[in-house]
Amino acid sequence: MRQSPRRHEASVTQALVMPDLTLALEHWRQDPGGTYRTWFLWEERIKNFRSIRRGLQAVVQEIEAGTFGTAYRGSTLETVVSAVAEQRQIFKGADHAFLWKPKLRIPDIYESPDNQRTFGRFLHACDCCDDEAGVLWAIQALDDCRIKGLGPAAANLLYFLHPTLVTPFNTAIVKGYNTVTGARVKLGRWDEYLAMRRGVLALNQQYRTRLSNDLGAIAGFLFDVGSGRLPLPTAEANPTAWAADLARVRNDAAAERRRAAEAAEDRSHTQVQGWLRDLGRALGYQVWVASNDRGRTYNGGRLAEGCLDTLPAALESSLAVDTIRLIDVLWIEPEGRVAAAFEVEHSTSLYSGIVRMLDLALGATDGLAGRYFLVAPDRREADARAQFARPAFQRVLDLDLRFLAYSDLAEHRESMARFGQGLRPLDALARPLRGPG
C-alpha cells in the first residue's frame, strides 16, 4: 500500500482500457453551467480549503480533549461538513453521511467514545501526512476498525486536506466513473473507493492537459456525467479490468495489515523484554538483554539501558556463549550466578528459545544454573508443552522450564516489583512445562 504515486499511476494505466474523452472534456470545459466553470474555477473554492482544514483541526482537538459531545447538531463537525456541502452542486448532500440516524445507530461516532477517538486519529493522521502512502495508511487503519456507517463519504473531508491525492466521492461521481470506464463500483466500501481512485488517477494522467493536478477537476467531470448533465454512452462493461483494480487494492491492504501485524509483534516482544528488565532490576538483579536487541527503543530510551555490557566470566567462557548472548533476558546475581533466564516468544518458533536455554543449562557449571522461563501469549501454552514433550528434550529431565503467560506478567509485574522477593512471585505465577498443565 505504501507505494509512490508514480508507480501507482503506472500500475493503474495498465489495468484500464481508457476511452477517448477528448471531445467530452472540451465540451465540459466550455459548458457555462457545468462544474468546471461554476465550481472548479470559482474563486471562493480555493479560499474554503484553509477554513475547512482549520475546522477539521478543531474537530480533532475537541475529540482529543473529550469535549466533542454526543450529537452531530451543533458540533464542530457539523460546521465543517456544512462548509463542504455549500461547495456548489458537486458536494450537495455531503452532510447526509454524518447525520445521526438513531434507528440505524450510524455513523457510530457519537455514542461510542472509542470510535470517536478513532475518527479523530484518522483526521489527524491525514492532516499531518504529506504523501500518498500516509493517506492510504490512514484510510486502511480506519477501514480496519469497521466503524458502522463511516465509509468513503469521509473522502470528501480528505479532499480538502489533499486535493492532489484524494478524489471526492458521491453517488453521481461513482455513476459517472462507471459510465466512463465500464467499472462496477458500489457505494459504501473503502476498498471499492480506493479501486475507483486508482482508475481516476489513470484517467487524470491520460488527460492531464485538459484536467488538473487537483482531482476536483476530474471529480467534477465525472459528477456531470453521472448526474446526466454531460451525456456519454455507457462504456462496455469491463469486469476484468475492474476486478484487477479491486484485487490490487485488497492485496495492498492485506500486505499492509501483515506489515502492521509484524511491527506490532515486534513492539510486543520488546515491550515484554522491557517489563522483564525493569522487574529484574526492581528485585535486585543485574540484567542482561539479548545482544541483538540491545539497541531497540523502549520507553524513549534503549532497551539495554542500565543493563550489563558483558556476561559474567563463567558464561563468557562457555562453549555456547554465542547462543547464550541471544537469550532475551537474563537475571544475574551479584556474584555472577544466573538466577533466571527468559525467552520471549511472541509469534516465532518456540523450539529455538527452548534450545537456547538448554545450551545455557548444559553449559552451566555448579552454581550457575537457575530458573528457565518461556514467556509467551496465553494461547501458546499448549504449543509450548507439545514442543517440550518432543523426544529431543527427553534427556534433559532436570531443566525445570516454566511457562509465564503475558497476561499474568502484565497483571502482576508492578505488585511483584513493589512487594516481591527473589523468584518466589514468578514461581507462583509460572506453570511447569514438564508434566500436566
User: Is 419 domain-assigned?
Assistant: yes
Whether the per-residue pLDDT at 273 is higher than 60: the answer is yes
Tell me if residue 168 falls in helix, strand or coil.
Answer: coil
pLDDT of residue 393: 65
Selected residue with higher pLDDT from 158 and 351: 158
Whether the per-residue pLDDT at 245 is higher than 80: the answer is no
Same domain (yes/no): 298, 390: yes
Q: How confident is the model at residue 395 (pLDDT cuts 50, 70, 90)?
A: low
pLDDT of residue 397: 52
Domains contained in the chain, number: 2
pLDDT of residue 14: 40
Same domain (yes/no): 274, 152: no
Please work out, in degrees rounded to the nearest 5, the angle formed at the alpha carbon of residue 329 by the alpha carbons of 323 and 335.
90
Tens digit of pLDDT for each residue in 66-97? 999 899 998 999 999 999 988 777 888 888 88
Phi and psi for 220 in degrees, rounded to 5? -65, -40
pLDDT of residue 284: 92
Name the pTM for this structure: 0.60
Same domain (yes/no): 287, 396: yes
Same domain (yes/no): 324, 408: yes
User: Is 154 domain-assigned?
Assistant: yes
CA distance 307 to 279: 12
Tens digit of pLDDT for each residue in 336-378? 888 999 999 876 677 777 777 777 777 655 445 578 898 988 8
Looking at 197, 219, 237, which one is the last position of a domain? 237
User: Is 242 domain-assigned?
Assistant: no
CA distance 72 to 426: 51
Helices (H) and strands (E) in the chain, counts: 18, 8
CB crowding 72-103: b at 16 or more within 10 Å, else e: beebbbbebbebbbebebbbeebbebbebeee
User: Is 59 domain-assigned?
Assistant: yes
Distance, CA of 357 to chain centre: 34
- Residue 422 φ/ψ region, left for φ over 0, alpha for ψ in the -120 to 50 degree band, beta for the rest: left
Q: If you average pLDDT over residues 265-293, what whole number do you get?
A: 89
Same domain (yes/no): 318, 400: yes
Same domain (yes/no): 148, 283: no
Tens digit of pLDDT for each residue in 403-431? 898 888 888 899 999 888 888 888 888 98
Looking up cell 484524494, which residue turns up?
Answer: 166
Whether the per-residue pLDDT at 5 is higher than 50: the answer is no
Q: How confident is the model at residue 383 (pLDDT cuts 50, 70, 90)?
A: confident
Same domain (yes/no): 269, 131: no
Same domain (yes/no): 218, 318: no
User: Is 148 domain-assigned?
Assistant: yes
86 is in which domain, residue-wise?
Answer: 5-237
Q: How confident is the model at residue 392 (pLDDT cuts 50, 70, 90)?
A: low
H or E, element range at 343: strand 338-344
Looking up cell 474563486, which residue turns up?
Answer: 43
Other C-beta atoms lying within 10 Å of the C-beta of residue 220 = 28
Beta bridge pairs of residue 375? 344, 404
Same domain (yes/no): 32, 148: yes
Same domain (yes/no): 272, 191: no
Beta strands at 301-302 and 297-298: parallel, antiparallel or unpaired: antiparallel
Please give the mean pLDDT across all residues of the chain. 85
Same domain (yes/no): 287, 416: yes
Q: How confident is the model at residue 213 (pLDDT cuts 50, 70, 90)?
A: very high
Tens digit of pLDDT for each residue in 161-181? 999 999 999 999 999 999 998
Same domain (yes/no): 231, 126: yes
